[in-house]
Amino acid sequence: MSTVIPPPAAATKDIPTYHQVPETSFDLDWADLATLKLDEFDQPGGKEQLAKQLFDAIQNIGFFYITNFGLSQEDVDRQFSIGNEIFKLPTDEKLKYRADLEQGGYNGYKPMGLREIVPGVYDNTEIYNIPKFTPEYERAHPDIVNNNRPVIESFARHIHDEIVRKLLILLAIILELPEDYLLKVHRYDEKSDCHLRYMKYHRRSDEENAKADGVWSKGHTDFGSLTLLFRQPVSALQVRTPEGDWKWVKPYPGSITVNLADTLQFITNGFLKSSIHRVVLPPPDQRDVDRLGVLYFVRPEDNLELRPVGSEVLRRLGYDQTSNNSALGITAGDWVRARVAKGVARSKIGDQPIIGGVVAKYYD
């Protein structure tokens, strides 16, 4: 399906152009991640080649980059400007759209400071989540969102129709399942908590950074199927290697960072790994800026039971035993909502019971 991007003049109403901050000049301990050029997908043999590349890439860390995904930097920056404007609104105005987090609802506004990171230090993150553009998810939004709805909707639909579709096909090929196997449980018109997210991490004082040991968001896995993180020039995201080391994720121009999340791990008995990541204090030359992000969270349809798929690959590679943290009998919708509700005020590390005795782990 093709996406119509409105012409720039009509696209972003009354919003200043967004300029990305320069990258850090520090040579950090960067993670070595594979890059998939998504435009190869439609070339002869392209998707098989990409699936092979992805198979190798996800053996250790469920993180990789994609490029050539059909959105220009201008399209992406327009979303950064919309996010920027939303967070500039007065708190009272933003709170009119507060998400029902305590009940596991994540659409709308999450104010900063709900979650205690270490005793006395609270999170510095504001979030505005926009659900799928289907009638059942219609909800009130600030004018900045309403006035720019066409450009937000076409951006979100391009992600779903062109980017997520290809990634789900590649994963089905890896699992030697019919190519549309995962697409059938990720239909746009069905209920699921997929959302486009604007996110802002506010800079912290030295004192707070010292107290929280530089951790802004504890090591965690994401809840759904895939997370797409548009290029975020302020370095702060780290991934955890199987050896337990933290490596920085470099913001390559024109890339999206993608990570696999919980539900894929459940339905593959742990073969596809829900990757552990955290957000920390940026390097010294980027510490004085607030860190703005644009992300897309992909979640399976609410009523998908998280039962492992019957895949020859899992049998061959020894992932055919139900793992001891299996989510049999739990649906994707229940899992996601329970994780949101349990995550609102969490501050502990280690195993956290989520639902039906199944745990999620948090790391320092």
Residues that bind Fe ion (CB under 5 A): 222
Shorter beta-carbon distance to Fe ion: residue 77 or 222: 222
Side-chain-facing half-sphere of 310: CA atoms under 13 Å: 0
Least CB distance from residue 341 to ligand AKG, whole Å?
16
CB of 139 to Fe ion, least distance (A): 23
Q: Say which residues have a Cβ less than 8 Å from residue 28's Cβ, sequence separation at least 6.
A: 235, 248, 250, 283
CB of residue 220 vs Fe ion: minimum separation in angstroms? 6
Nearest to 95 by CA among 117, 116, 112: 112
Binding residues for ligand AKG (CB under 6 A): 199, 222, 229, 232, 237, 277, 279, 293
Residue 237 interaction partner, one of Fe ion, ligand AKG, none, beta carbon < 5-8 Å per kind: ligand AKG
Looking at the Cβ atoms of 150 and 233, the one nearer to ligand AKG is 233
Distance of CA 9 to the CA centre of its chain: 29
Choosing among ligand AKG, Fe ion, none, which partner's interface includes residue 301 (Cβ < 5 to 8 Å by kind)? none
Q: How far is the CB of 25 from ligand AKG (least distance, A)?
A: 20
Q: Give the residue from 174, 29, 12 showing the smallest Cα distance to 83.
A: 12
Q: Which of Fe ion, ligand AKG, none binds 107 (CB below 5-8 Å, type-dependent)?
A: none
Q: How far apart are CA 41 and CA 48, in angstroms?
A: 8
- Comparing CB distances to ligand AKG, the nearer of 151 and 237 is 237
The DSSP symbol for 164 reads: I
* Binding partner of 229, given ligand AKG, Fe ion, none, CB within 5-8 angstroms per partner class: ligand AKG
Residue 293's binding partner among ligand AKG, Fe ion, none (Cβ under 5 to 8 angstroms by kind) is ligand AKG
> Nearer Cβ to Fe ion, position 68 or 347?
347
Q: Are 46 and 76 in contact (CB under 8 A)?
A: no
Minimal CB distance residue for ligand AKG:
237
As measured in angstroms, the least distance from the Cβ of 75 to ligand AKG is 20
Residue 54 contact partner, candidates ligand AKG, Fe ion, none, CB within 5 to 8 A by sort of partner: none
**CA–CA distance, 343 with 115 (Å, rounded to integer):** 8
Task: Give the separation between CA 26 and CA 234, rounded to whole angstroms.
Answer: 12
- Measured CA to CA in angstroms, residue 286 lies from 25, 79, 241 at distances of 9, 21, 24
Instruction: Write down the least CB distance from residue 197 to Fe ion, Å.
Output: 10
C-beta atoms surrounding 253 within 10 Å? 10
